[in-house]
Amino acid sequence: MVTVTDVAKKAGVSTSTVSRVLSDSGYASARTRSAVLSAAKALGYVPNAIARGLKTQKSGFIAFIMPEVIDPYFFATVARGVEEIANSNGFQILLGNNDDNQLKERNYIELMVASAIEGMIITPSVDSRTAYRILADRGIPIVFVDRVVGGFGADTVRSDDYRGAKLLVDHLASLGHRRVALVNGHSRTSVAMDRAAGFKNAVVHSGLDLDERLISWGPWVIEDAERRVNELVESGAEFSAIIAGNLYMAIGTLRALRRQGLRVPEDVALVSFNDLELAAEINPFLTVLSQPIYSLGRIAMGLLLDRINGKYSGEPRDVVLSPSLVVRESCGAKLKAFDRNLRARPDVVDAK
Amino acid sequence: MVTVTDVAKKAGVSTSTVSRVLSDSGYASARTRSAVLSAAKALGYVPNAIARGLKTQKSGFIAFIMPEVIDPYFFATVARGVEEIANSNGFQILLGNNDDNQLKERNYIELMVASAIEGMIITPSVDSRTAYRILADRGIPIVFVDRVVGGFGADTVRSDDYRGAKLLVDHLASLGHRRVALVNGHSRTSVAMDRAAGFKNAVVHSGLDLDERLISWGPWVIEDAERRVNELVESGAEFSAIIAGNLYMAIGTLRALRRQGLRVPEDVALVSFNDLELAAEINPFLTVLSQPIYSLGRIAMGLLLDRINGKYSGEPRDVVLSPSLVVRESCGAKLKAFDRNLRARPDVVDAK
DNA sequence: GTGAAAGCGCTAACAT
DNA sequence: ATGTTAGCGCTTTCAC
C-alpha cells in the first residue's frame, strides 16, 4: 500500500507537506505542489479515507436502511435519490436491510455506529425507538423516510397519505361508488394509519357508507391482499370499488377478483397507491395515486446534509410530498355509463 | 465518544486487556472479563470499527456498484442477495451507482479504494477495464454480475443469455413463427452480444429466416424500444414475433405495436427476457424467460467471500445460471389456431 | 512555505 | 493473566 510517507520520500518533502497539498489546505509553493502531485500520480497513491477519518472524526459515511422486502422498486428508487445527493456531497452510503425486523435493524444500527456514520436515513421497521436512541445519544442525525415514528423527534420525509386516500375516495365517489373497500397495509405503520384516517374522513365527508368490515389490514404483499379480497367477497360484503395499498396488493386484488369471476372495472372498480411505469401496462391499466418516490430520497438526503454540516439544527421537520391522481382504466372512469354495472348499487351510475 | 481508554479506566485495567476481552482474543480471567464487560455496557461503549480497521488492515467493507438506471427492480433484488450473504459474514456494503457512465464508475472505484474495501461486486458499465486495474493492482478481488468484461480475468455470475435466447426462439419456432425480431440491448454489453449470438444460432438451427434488419440494438429502456419497434413496423419489414430484451423494452414494444394498430398476440407474438411478478399481470400476460435474480446476488457475494478470505485463489470462475421459460399469453401459445393470424406468413399456423 | 511531533482509537508483539 | 509500547495512515498544531 502506497502511503503519504512513500509520496513524501519520492517528492523529497515531509508528510505534512504532502498532506497539505493533497487536501488543499495550507500553503505550498507551486514547485513543491507539482512535485508532490506527480509523485503521487507516479506511485498510484490513493489516500486512505479510513485513516483520514480517524484523525478528522469525519467518516464521510451515511447509512441507508430499507425494509426492502415490501417493494424493491420503491426502495431502489429512493436509494437512487439518496445516492445522487450523497455522492455529489462527498458522502458514501452504507447499505442495510432491516427486513422489517427489529432485531436485524438494531444490529445494523450498532454496526453502522461502529463504522462512525455521520447520519442515517431509514424506513423504520415496526418499532425500534430504543435503537434510534443509540444514534440520538451520539448526536447522529436521523431522517425517516416514508414512515413516521411517533414520539421520536427526527426529520421525516413522506407522502401525504391522508390526502392521498381522500383523493382516491373522492374520485371513486365522483364515479358514483358508495361502498368502497380498503385493502390496507400493516396496522402498525404510520402509512397505513394515515391512509385509513384519510379514507374514513373522505367516506364520511362524501356521504358514502362507512363500514369497518370493508377495511382490512395486513402485510403489503400480493398473497395477503389476495387472501383478504377473497375473504371479503366470500363474506358477502357489498362494495363496488376497492383501494389497494400498493401495486403488489393491487395485483393480489386483481387475482382474487379474477378468481371470484368479477371483472375490473365492469363489476368492481380498482384503484391503487404507488405508481410505477408498469402500472400503465397492467391488465387493466391501473388508476393510481402517483408519489414522487425519487424526490423522497433526494429530499431525505438533503435534510440529513443540513443536519450533518450544521446548516440546520432546529425542530424536527416533517416534509410531506403531495401525491397526484393518475386516471387510467381500472377505476372505470373511461367506461361509458351504460357499460357499467356497479355491483352494490347498480342504479348509481355516473359518467363523470 | 467513549473509547477503550474510558472503558479501561472504569474497569481498572489496561486498554489491551479491554481489547482482548472485547474481541475475544487472548486470555482474561473471569473477573476482569466481567469487569470490562460491565464497564463497557455502563458507558455505552461501541468499538470504533474505523480505528480497528486501520490497525488490522481489514475494513469489513465491500462495494456494490450497480447501473440502476436500467432496471431498479433487477438490481434491488441482486442487492438484497448480496446484502444477505454479506451481513451474515460480517461485511458491510458500500453502495454505488455508475449510471452506466465510465467517469462516474471510475470515481466511485477510487472512492471505494480510498475506503479500503476488501472486495467489489459490480455490474460493469460499458467498458472501464482501466478502472478495474486499480483494484487488481491492489489485490482487491472483483466479481462481475450480469455482464462479462472481456480480457479481464475475474469471477463472473450471470444468466445463460445465449441459451435463453435459444429457448425463446425455439418456443416461437414451435408456434410456427418464421420471422422473429429481436429488440436487443446495448451492443457493447456482453448480455446483448450473447443474446444476439444465441438468437442467430437458434434461428439458423430451426430453419427460420435470418434477417439482420430484424435485430436492433440500443438502450434497455421503454422509449428506445418503442422508437425502434415503430421504425421496424414502418420500414415494412416482415415479422410475426418479437423478442424484447427486458420487461421495460417489452413495454416499449407493446406501446409501439398498439400505436401501429397491431394486436398481441393475434397480429404479433411477443416474448421477453426477465421475469417479475408484474409480468404476470401486464396486458397481455407476458411470456418471459425467468432468471434467478436473487441467486445472482447471493452467489456473487459467495464468490467474493471465497476470494477475500483466501478459500479460493485459482482461475476466474464463470458461474452461469440457467433461465427457464414461463409461457403465458403474449406469445400466442394459448390462442386457438384459427384465432391466430401470423402477419408475415399467415399460412403457417401451428397450434403447438 | 515547510518540517517535526503528537495523536485520532484501536490492536498486537513483547514483556512481565 | 495483564500491562507497556509501538504503530496502522493520516492531519494538524506549532515551530522555524
- B61-117: per-residue pLDDT in tens? 999 998 866 677 888 889 999 999 999 999 999 999 988 788 889 999 999 999 999
Residue B67 in contact with residue B123, Cβ under 8 Å? Answer: yes
| A68 inside 8 A of chain B by CB | yes
Please report the residues numbered 261 through 300 in chain A whose beta carbons come closer than 8 angstroms to any beta carbon of chain B: 276-278, 280-285
Cross-chain Cβ contact B281/A282 below 8 Å: yes
User: pTM for the full model?
Assistant: 0.89
Grid cell of B319 as nine digits: 458461474
Strand D, nucleotides < 7 Å from a protein CB: these are 1-13
pLDDT tens by residue, B9-62: 999 999 999 999 998 877 888 889 999 999 999 999 999 999 999 999 999 999
Q: What is the mean pLDDT of residues A171-187?
A: 95
Test the B interface: residue of A101, A278, A282, A329 with most B CBs within 10 Å: A278
Q: What is the mean pLDDT of residues B196-201?
A: 97
How many Å is the maximal CA-CA distance in chain A? 92
What is the pLDDT at residue A102? 86
Residue A270 in contact with residue A260, Cβ under 8 Å? Answer: no
Closest B-chain CA to A223: B277
Name the residue facing B277 among A97, A138, A251 (closest C-beta).
A251
Name the residue facing B50 among A53, A248, A283 (closest C-beta).
A53
d(CA B51, CA B230): 58
Q: Which residues contact B235 (CB under 8 A, 6 or more apart)?
A: B213
Residue type, B215: I
* CA proximity to B242, closest of B168, B301, B311, B335: B168
Helical (H) or strand (E) element with A155? strand A155-159
Q: Distance of CA B12 to CAs B8, B22, B44, B245, Å?
A: 6, 15, 17, 66
What is the C-alpha end-to-end distance of chain A, expressed in Å? 71
Is pLDDT above 60 for A340? no
pLDDT tens by residue, A295-312: 999 999 999 999 999 999
Cross-chain Cβ contact A54/B50 below 8 Å: yes
What is the pLDDT at residue B347? 33
Closest protein CA to C1' of nucleotide D5, residue? B16
d(CA B221, CA B12): 64
* CA proximity to B283, closest of A291, A2, A96, A281: A281
A54 Cβ nearer than 7 Å to chain C strand: yes
Encode burial over A275-311: b for 16+ CB neighbours within 10 A, e otherwise. bbebbbbbbbbbbbbbbbbebbbbbbbbbbbbbbeee
pLDDT tens by residue, B326-341: 999 999 987 644 344 4
Protein CA at B10 to nucleotide C1' at D1, angstroms: 19
Number of neighbouring beta carbons within 10 Å of residue A69: 16
Give the single-character DSSP code of A282. B
Q: Which residue has the cell 423516510?
A: A145
**Residue A201 to chain B, least CA–CA distance (Å):** 32
Q: What is the mean pLDDT of residues A182-202?
A: 94
Please report the residues numbered 39 through 58 in chain B whose beta carbons come closer than 8 angstroms to any beta carbon of chain A: 44, 46-51, 53-54
pLDDT tens by residue, B204-258: 999 999 999 999 999 988 999 999 999 999 999 999 999 999 988 999 999 999 9
Protein CA at B293 to nucleotide C1' at D5, angstroms: 52
Tell how strand B287-290 and strand B142-145 pair up.
unpaired
Grid cell of A160 as nine digits: 401525504
What is the pLDDT at residue B349? 30
Helical (H) or strand (E) element with B102? helix B102-114
Protein CA at B55 to nucleotide C1' at D7, angstroms: 8
Q: What is the mean pLDDT of residues A330-343?
A: 59
